[in-house]
């Protein structure tokens, strides 16, 4: 695996990918906690998890190990996760409704960041895309767009405990919602099965490509 390892390429990929990935996974979790605090649950706030300091959200596996391995393997994109922000849904003012809002906040934050990186991509393209530094910043913006769209679309899959599963649970009538909530202990096994079968990539990539095209059409029309 390491016989063709290129240290210079690894360092470049790390420099380009680390910031977008770190922001994507950190702000995703902070958004959950921030919305929860506004809706009655102060758990994340009391534990200091609303901080933008990424150290407070680092997960040794999801934030460090997985992205590092992807870099070493020359993956075309980086992926990872932060420590989940604790939310006590019983403290929310309207638990059923507010649970959906808290869950949707993470993907919503990723969408906003994808929009921001798209704007930066346009700015970098206009200011200095012919220089190595300019190309590096453009690559960073592209990683930011891809990572945030990936996190958004992946987390919106209607499978508990993913955010989309929690949103769907809140939208369904009590009976079907209770049945769906029973899937939660097996949710990640289902995701792994979808990943291993190739179904997950066939779901995620077309949606991501469509969203990326929309963002480029909206924000980069002047280039």
Contact 165, 180 (CB under 8 A): yes
Q: Report the catalytic residues.
A: 29
């Amino acid at each position: 695996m390491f016989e063709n390892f290129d240290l210079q390429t690894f360092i470049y990929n790390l420099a380009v990918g680390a910031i977008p990935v770190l922001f994507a996974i950190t702000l995703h979790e902070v958004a959950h906690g921030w919305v929860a605090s506004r809706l009655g649950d102060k758990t994340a706030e009391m534990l200091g998890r609303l901080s933008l300091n990424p150290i407070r959200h680092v997960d040794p596996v999801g934030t460090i190990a997985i992205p590092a391995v992807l870099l070493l393997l020359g993956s075309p994109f980086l992926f990872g996760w932060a420590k989940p922000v604790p939310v006590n849904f019983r403290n929310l003012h309207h638990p059923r409704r507010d649970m959906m809002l808290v869950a949707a906040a993470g993907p919503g934050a990723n969408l906003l960041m994808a929009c921001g990186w798209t704007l930066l991509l346009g700015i970098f393209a206009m200011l200095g895309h012919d220089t190595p530094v300019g190309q590096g910043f453009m690559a960073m913006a592209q990683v930011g767009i891809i990572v945030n769209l990936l996190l958004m679309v992946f987390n919106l899959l209607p499978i508990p405990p993913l955010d989309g599963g929690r949103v769907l649970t809140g939208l369904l009538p009590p009976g079907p919602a209770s049945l769906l909530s029973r899937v939660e202990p097996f949710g990640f096994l289902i995701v792994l099965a979808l990943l291993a079968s190739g179904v997950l990539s066939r779901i995620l990539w077309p949606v991501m490509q469509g969203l990326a095209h929309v963002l480029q059409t909206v924000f980069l029309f002047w280039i």
